Amino acid sequence: MISAKMLKVLNSHLNEEFYSSYLYLSMAAYFEARNLKGLANWFRIQSSEEQLHGMKFFNFILQKGGKVTLSDIAAPKIEWKSIQEVFADTLKHEQKISGLINKLVDVAMIEKDYATNTFLQWFVTEQVEEEANVEEIIQKIEMIGDNKSGLYMLDNELGARVAAPAVV
């Protein structure tokens, strides 16, 4: 059985993961409109990963005997001034999600919910990877500057990304 407090914060976070998927899909659309298909591909895959993360929470809540509560998903931002701004927003968002995951771990520890704490450790590790990946891309964008050839190469590199097999 899962405590009411733990259930509430897990459901809240479940919806944050679905918002993340929505945000990254918006970013993919932004790049599609600019014919940067590789960048769009990277964000489409990010969107799919976030959807899977949401489903991990969905399934975990049900496995623990809780009731899944879906709430409204806010409309994401749809316009940015530059590629740099998109990735700066991405890093900021991932840092926000990392903080939220850490708060979930705090609640699990207070509630002495060891199963949920163990479940959340995968997300703690995942967030380290997510932030590092975005920071690496930001560094590449900074190196490229206004160089169109560099942008072309980055677009090709990110276009080569393939989705990992779905594990929910």
What distance in Å separates the CA atoms of residue 98 and residue 95, rounded to the nearest whole number? 5
Single-letter code of the amino acid located at 156? N
Report the pLDDT value the prediction gives residue 167, as an integer from 0 to 100: 72
Report the pLDDT value the prediction gives residue 165, as an integer from 0 to 100: 80
Report the pLDDT value the prediction gives residue 109, as an integer from 0 to 100: 98
Best CA proximity match to 18, nearest among 45, 58, 67: 58
C-alpha R_g of the chain: 17
**Ordered structural domains, the chain, with CATH:** 4-159 (1.20.1260.10)
Per-residue pLDDT of the chain (168 residues; tens, 9 = 90+): 899 999 999 999 999 999 999 999 999 999 999 999 999 999 999 999 999 999 999 999 999 999 999 999 999 999 999 999 999 999 999 999 999 999 999 999 999 999 999 999 999 999 999 999 999 999 999 999 999 999 999 999 999 999 888 777
Instruction: Identify the residue whose tokens are 């968002």.
Output: 93
What distance in Å separates the CA atoms of residue 25 and residue 78, rounded to the nearest whole number? 10
* 123: number of Cβ within 10 Å: 21
Q: Catalogue the long-range contacts made by 128-133 (C-beta closer than 8 Å, 24 or more residues apart).
A: 128/98, 130/94, 130/97, 130/98, 131/91, 131/94, 131/95, 131/98
Q: Which two tokens stand for residue 46?
A: 């990010």
Report the pLDDT value the prediction gives residue 164, as an integer from 0 to 100: 83
